[in-house]
Structure 1
């Protein structure tokens, strides 16, 4: 259908219709099986309860029926769903994850006599993350079943209170180790539960009314499920809330998903189900996604003491298509979704399959911690490819016969039965990123070695009589043989290091975004539309969009790409246990690495000096697709690169404090229009920048020496006459490109090459609009006449409250031995004041220190009784953007 009032846009996007049924289709109320009749009880051991519930499911499966979990808490291990069986969670019922013995993994745990089901064998391990590969080690698990529903107002609880009253994760956020061989179960001798619900290759499924608390790596993961209806569920969890992976015909409505540390509703297209099944026809309506502290949404306290996710970007909690995208996506409609304290809306196709027919509309975002809209075509290339070996080691030993990939060798499948066959259809180079550099003398990172940038892979070429040929896969012999029809020049050999089973880069097209309002967005990340040379994003319409950024950054930040980190302490899960995070105030090195960390400058050979080049943004086609992976961009509002047919109409881009970067930057955009655009911009800063580039190479070939350069420009884009426009030209290849005959000048701006930052990193000011002051949550208060009401008011200020403690370096399964260098915080704290207070109330701020309590007190008089509550107002002002808290107080006689 064509969107209203957009007749000029010459592309169509079909709306998703979702699941063909609602919950009534799967109801089975006539036969009910109470788990207590099979031996379950709140005082029973987890082993007994697990056996009892699984026996009840077996009985119900014989004739079809509903297994009832009554009121009470039942500690269990894996519950195995079967076809034709519903699971009803009664009011007050809890299925609580039981502990298992964990002695050798990243978290230790003392068990309760049992374990979750062993992670199954999956021959296609490594083509996706571990959590997408194995499903059996879950609280509720079903494989190859149909006609099932989990419903009712009860709770699935993956957490437990320890002796100190702190909430601990029982369902883990990380994964067991990958197996040594593909033909082995998914662990290396020890495993544990890490998902609340996992369904794979199922049909006709419904989830209704229940809640999940602390659901592990995936609170819900459904892979290769056809026909799924979801409504009125609440998920408040430690990592992904709901993964819809390679599913077809899905409806998700009237539900809430809270996940600070990972995505909220995430649509994926992995190979975890062992079949090539694109995600298709998904409808999401009237939902809320948020990134508050785990457990606080379920408890209705909405605390926000933890500032960033484990990946060091802000709270995640978004709606995303990606990152797993091996099988592709088509036909997704997302409307009337409320984003709160989350990263925004993301479309990511990076593994060789396409993304198309997307509608995102009528939604609001508040406190956005990353790019409000992120559209990315990338070439990570995690796609199966058949190798030239029959070995089944997950990661082959280095001394084995050379295989078709030098990098990510776990994407290579053995050339034998029963593995599916994906012959190599495309190749890319392998780079030697072995040169360690530092731009500021403090933080170090690796870039491509300019002396030997490329690695050769003899497995993918054939030499005969001094001539070189490509190879091709022979189905009969299951081997790669010389392709004498394709002779190669010796200079081409480095281009054949990594084979890919997909013949093209992922193609992203046909996207409509309309009627979106964004407030209080992170100033670092504009809307990003990131295509590639060789895979341009095509047909994007964005209309009726209002975005408010916090602002206060500059082109200097976009040039220097500084690492500014401070340590932050917070209370873990609302208890007393303190944890430490490393806050990245500018670039985040969890994502941005290698050449992306170099200053964006160019060598001026005439003057013999470095000059700023903030528009020379590296392509980085192979990286994980996160907005922060391109650092600080030269646009604060919208940055679009390698896009065909971009239509922007009725767009407002605002900032709360002045940002001296450009509102809109277009780089290699061809065809489209910018109409009815209203933007804030600093004095002397044009509203739109058009980028010309003389030195572009196809995606993946950026650092291949002597490979021809192409020129790109903005072409045939109609821009409203009232907008001020400037054109800039990039005359050098991306930073870190090795010198060659085509560009003989230095591209690595480091002190050894005569480049220096004007201010040392340790003295550089923190951009205080990135991590803002905030108040600790205060619930609604009740006061009685003549009785004193008192409560603490705590205002926190990340720029001032810099911890002397370091992080532990743990990221789920891994521990990093290298910690990012840290800088000092600001010297002067913010000011805390009271706004409107009830008559006679007191609020003492004389000794205010950020992070410490100031007491409010009030003894209401008899005449204070009234129907409507009082609102006590408190203001934290750091001189940049004041933050206000209002506390409701109800007075009774």
Structure 2
């Protein structure tokens, strides 16, 4: 693929001027008031909208705070939020909710019926229980410099209450029922469903629940100069077409800031396409602190135990696919990196990501994943609308993806299958932390619903419709107009096909039916002119395809990535669980404790992914470390931490066809002991200009040949044949320039490919693969099989480059000449500030995860220094207090840089101080 052949998105054609209205309707004229009950305000606002809808007009919110429940939008009606206007979410009585609180006499609109619930998460299935809601509308605009908020400060305690909740009501027990079980509440800020010609401009949203803004199945959407600062997803654009987002700031520490999705939530099979994003900022500071201008950062990790989220991401809901997206000039701050995921059977293609800056990256700077989570609808063998489908259906796992075999539903007959694995074997490596892997003695389960036995022979049950017009699942092209249309021609049944005899050893392959014949794909991606600084050392750029669905045609050009470094190949072998406890107080919230994973994060890395990367040495009768034998995990949740610590610090590419690396620079603040790049099952790689830090005893590139590969999803099914994959077509067009990372190290240049590349061969299945006649040796390195760590977990050193000491940010300061400026700096160090308390994590669905085993911290002396110290100012390092009385000659803006240093590297924080004239002047 040429660097410049990908088409660029054009985005929306609508602009604010196209939707201007001449008539205004003031909500106070209809009975709304700051002191009015929320139910009264709700009726007044919706009455104003109804009046404006009669002839088209703008509903105006004047300055003031108006508590309300669901505002129902109408076609040809705009909402204008005057400066100082606050649309505030009203409380609901939630006696059984995890955020139980006294209500204010009303509730949000009841979650609607969505027959396709379960094909995506609950929050993408129900939208009417939002603060502002509109479906199947056209020509609407929300604008003005006011605020929409789901937060409320408690007058007595000052605690910020999350009125719009991050969780979801409990899902119904039938696809024909409303989207809750008894209790429901508001959990979204703005929800727009199947709307056309929409403008969002100038306003702010804070504490927006599960989704501060979600656009679901919309067309022609223009967004400009909005700020979203919230607790979960800030802005989701799901299955939309023709979208432009400009000059927008999205902050979310615990979830995505700006997220592109392609779910089935709108009830239509529509890809996300033609999306243009320019000149935006995404970040992961404490919720509410960005809108307040304080940018606090006391919470170190999200609920999922990875670092602050806050990123721009494709996925994870990806049933319908993505096409034609252009992203440029976006700044990432204190967030995970750029993320592209296609894991639900559809395609992701024609993406440009360029001219972007990423600082303080808490995950892979760039993450591309083609996976096979297979969240794709499949028609079941029964007409029951019970949700999830009954346990005798075409899937053993995740039966929420099974649709009733009934004419009221789109028809998606089974097109392929995946196994069911019994992850019921509990193992431990260090005697402290335990986890489940595939049971080596009973690894799989069969599903008789998908085959028929006759005289000791087995035959696949296949779909036979009343009309073969449905043979190739034409319903995937359902139009927007018939999103609820019937498909009587597709009605049919699963019957035995006596021409499709199955071997008994292959029966486990047919446990879970999938309604798509293809696996997910990622192709035609251009990423160029990107600068990354201060990246988490655990996660390289990660390009991860599937054995049977390679990522294709990827160009990385003019990329500079600075990692913190400091890890070793031992970390990549051992996959240690090394945790401490951290007490924090987020922006105006109660003090809490969270569990920090310094190496492997067990929230995403699970099962076989937690086993050490080691192979059995039959000759010496012992385990040998093999960091290159990385498990596939095709159905795992796609997050860079899923694969633990990898043998490359810069880039790890697996199952990729057509990869160009042009003008790439990888550096480390502290030397790292791993390869710069590792390639595994990669074809046609062009390395055209690379500079990197690399230890002198380490080859910069490793190329893996794996003799024990199996087809996707069949990795752990016994007696499935193995085959070999290798790296082919690797070309190095210009010499590699390498530094060893030490202060006095001199660069060296490698010209010959043989000097640049280490050839690695794998002669064992991935850790945890059940033994069979094809490989009878042990595969699960754990205490039970004689594997042990050389250093006990309690004595293992913390990798201090993972979580760094920091100075809590200070908001800009304004003082007058002659006035004393006193700033007490708050310095924290995760390595030494370890809490004695431990707590399990409570997820948004109320589930509590059991506490992880934790170790003690380490003493880490800190030195506090100051740069750009104004004349007359001083810093007392003992009590970290900055004192300064500016003179008349020092009027103007001053930028003071404070640094904390633990001996590895300094961490800096800048304060802006503006000195003004005295009051008399």
TM-score (norm 2): 0.93
What residue number does 1:851 align with? none
What residue number does 1:770 align with? 802
Q: Does 1:480 align with 2:504?
A: no
State the Cα distance separating 1:609 from its structure 2 match.
1.7
Q: Does 1:165 align with 2:158?
A: yes
Give the one of 369, 385, 393 matched to 1:403. 393
What residue number does 2:454 align with? 464
What residue number does 2:679 align with? 666
SS at match of 2:856: coil
The residue correspondences of 1:139-154 to structure 2 (distance < 5 A) are 139-154=131-146
What residue number does 2:571 align with? 557
Does the 8 Å CA contact 1:105/1:813 hold for their aligned counterparts? no
Q: Does 1:781 align with 2:813?
A: yes
Q: Does 1:845 align with 2:858?
A: no
Q: Does 1:452 align with 2:442?
A: yes
Does the 8 Å CA contact 2:308/2:335 hold for their aligned counterparts? yes
What residue number does 1:7 align with? none
* Cα distance in 2, alignment partners of residues 890 and 415 from structure 1: 69
The residue correspondences of 1:598-617 to structure 2 (distance < 5 A) are 598-617=611-630
State the Cα distance separating 1:357 from its structure 2 match.
0.6
State the Cα distance separating 1:264 from its structure 2 match.
0.9
Q: Does 1:515 align with 2:532?
A: no
The residue correspondences of 1:807-826 to structure 2 (distance < 5 A) are 807-826=839-858
Does the 8 Å CA contact 1:424/1:472 hold for their aligned counterparts? yes
Q: Does 1:60 align with 2:60?
A: no
Evaluate the alpha carbon distance shift between residue 116 and residue 790 of structure 1 in structure 2; reply closer, same or farther with a 3 A threshold: same
* Cα distance in 2, alignment partners of residues 254 and 835 from structure 1: 32
* Cα distance in 1, alignment partners of residues 734 and 818 from structure 2: 67
* Cα distance in 2, alignment partners of residues 66 and 785 from structure 1: 47
Q: Does 1:245 align with 2:235?
A: no
What residue number does 1:337 align with? 330
* Cα distance in 1, alignment partners of residues 428 and 161 from structure 2: 40
State the Cα distance separating 1:870 from its structure 2 match.
4.2
What residue number does 2:76 align with? 84
The residue correspondences of 1:12-411 to structure 2 (distance < 5 A) are 12-28=5-21, 30-162=22-154, 163-396=156-389, 398=391, 402-411=392-401
* Cα distance in 2, alignment partners of residues 786 and 141 from structure 1: 53
Evaluate the alpha carbon distance shift between residue 443 and residue 110 of structure 1 in structure 2; reply closer, same or farther with a 3 A threshold: same
Q: Does 1:831 align with 2:857?
A: no
SS at match of 2:811: coil
Q: Does 1:857 align with 2:905?
A: no
* Cα distance in 2, alignment partners of residues 817 and 223 from structure 1: 31
Q: Does 1:503 align with 2:517?
A: yes
Does the 8 Å CA contact 1:370/1:525 hold for their aligned counterparts? yes
What residue number does 2:639 align with? 626
* Cα distance in 1, alignment partners of residues 407 and 650 from structure 2: 52
Does the 8 Å CA contact 1:585/1:767 hold for their aligned counterparts? yes
Does the 8 Å CA contact 1:443/1:821 hold for their aligned counterparts? yes
Cα deviations across residues 681-740 of structure 1 (Å, max 9, x unaligned)?
012111111111100001100001111111011101212362421111111100000111
* Cα distance in 1, alignment partners of residues 882 and 347 from structure 2: 57
State the Cα distance separating 1:397 from its structure 2 match.
5.3
Evaluate the alpha carbon distance shift between residue 257 and residue 886 of structure 1 in structure 2; reply closer, same or farther with a 3 A threshold: closer
Does the 8 Å CA contact 1:525/1:633 hold for their aligned counterparts? yes
* Cα distance in 2, alignment partners of residues 733 and 570 from structure 1: 42
Does the 8 Å CA contact 2:687/2:734 hold for their aligned counterparts? no
State the Cα distance separating 1:840 from its structure 2 match.
3.9
* Cα distance in 2, alignment partners of residues 130 and 48 from structure 1: 30
* Cα distance in 2, alignment partners of residues 779 and 637 from structure 1: 35
Does the 8 Å CA contact 2:14/2:199 hold for their aligned counterparts? no
Q: Does 1:413 align with 2:426?
A: no
Q: Does 1:678 align with 2:691?
A: yes
State the Cα distance separating 1:273 from its structure 2 match.
0.6
* Cα distance in 2, alignment partners of residues 886 and 329 from structure 1: 40
Does the 8 Å CA contact 1:322/1:349 hold for their aligned counterparts? yes
* Cα distance in 1, alignment partners of residues 196 and 914 from structure 2: 51
The residue correspondences of 1:591-740 to structure 2 (distance < 5 A) are 591-720=604-733, 722-723=735-736, 724-740=756-772
State the Cα distance separating 1:785 from its structure 2 match.
4.8
Count of aligned pairs: 873
Cα deviations across residues 795-815 of structure 1 (Å, max 9, x unaligned)?
111111111112242111133
SS at match of 2:130: coil
Unaligned ranges ≥5, structure 2: 467-490, 737-755
State the Cα distance separating 1:396 from its structure 2 match.
4.1
What residue number does 1:491 align with? 505
SS at match of 1:574: coil
State the Cα distance separating 1:245 from its structure 2 match.
0.4
* Cα distance in 2, alignment partners of residues 230 and 888 from structure 1: 30
RMSD: 1.4
What residue number does 1:887 align with? 911
SS at match of 1:815: coil
SS at match of 1:865: helix
* Cα distance in 1, alignment partners of residues 572 and 585 from structure 2: 33
SS at match of 1:139: strand
* Cα distance in 1, alignment partners of residues 132 and 914 from structure 2: 43
Residues 274-283 or 867-876, more deviating: 867-876
Give the one of 738, 749, 757 matched to 2:789. 757
Does the 8 Å CA contact 1:154/1:211 hold for their aligned counterparts? yes
State the Cα distance separating 1:787 from its structure 2 match.
4.1
* Cα distance in 2, alignment partners of residues 842 and 647 from structure 1: 52
Residues 798-807 or 825-834, more deviating: 825-834
* Cα distance in 2, alignment partners of residues 668 and 255 from structure 1: 39
Unaligned ranges ≥5, structure 1: 5-11, 849-853
